[in-house]
């Protein structure tokens, strides 16, 4: 069994956890307007073109850095964001 970021191109491969979460977030976000899920990091995801963080994502990362023992809870308009470390 192979575990890889390129699992879509290999019938018996499993995705890396980050690859699965990124792809699942895109899938979930496309299913219903007003609902979204995303995995983001202050570090670039290998082979992902769009890695620029928006202000909400930057605020979430800063909140985690400021209080990493507790996690962060942030909201933006009707969106609710959860960040975990």
The predicted-structure confidence for 32-64, as pLDDT tens digits, reads as follows 887 777 777 777 766 666 677 888 888 888 887
User: Global pTM?
Assistant: 0.61
* Residue 55 counted as domain residue: yes
* Residue 68 counted as domain residue: yes
Res 17: pLDDT = 86
Mean of pLDDT over the chain: 76
* Residue 45 counted as domain residue: no
Total number of domains constituting the chain: 1
* Residue 29 counted as domain residue: no
pLDDT band for position 85 (cuts 50, 70, 90): very low
pLDDT band for position 1 (cuts 50, 70, 90): confident
* Residue 80 counted as domain residue: yes
CB count in 10 Å sphere of residue 40: 19
Supply the range of the domain harboring residue 55. 51-85
The CA distance from 7 to 57, in Å, is 27
* Residue 72 counted as domain residue: yes
Return the H-helix or E-strand segment holding 26: helix 17-31
* Residue 59 counted as domain residue: yes
* Residue 13 counted as domain residue: no
Non-local CB neighbours of 22 within 8 Å, separated by 6+ positions? 38, 39, 45, 48
């Amino acid at each position: 069994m192979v575990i890889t970021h390129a699992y879509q191109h290999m019938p018996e491969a499993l995705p890396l956890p980050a690859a699965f979460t990124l792809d699942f977030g895109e899938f979930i976000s496309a299913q219903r307007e007003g609902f979204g899920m995303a995995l983001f990091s202050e570090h670039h995801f290998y082979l992902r073109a769009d890695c620029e963080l928006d202000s909400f994502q930057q605020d979430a990362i800063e909140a985690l850095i400021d209080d990493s023992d507790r996690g962060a809870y942030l909201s933006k308009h009707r969106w609710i964001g959860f960040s975990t470390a």
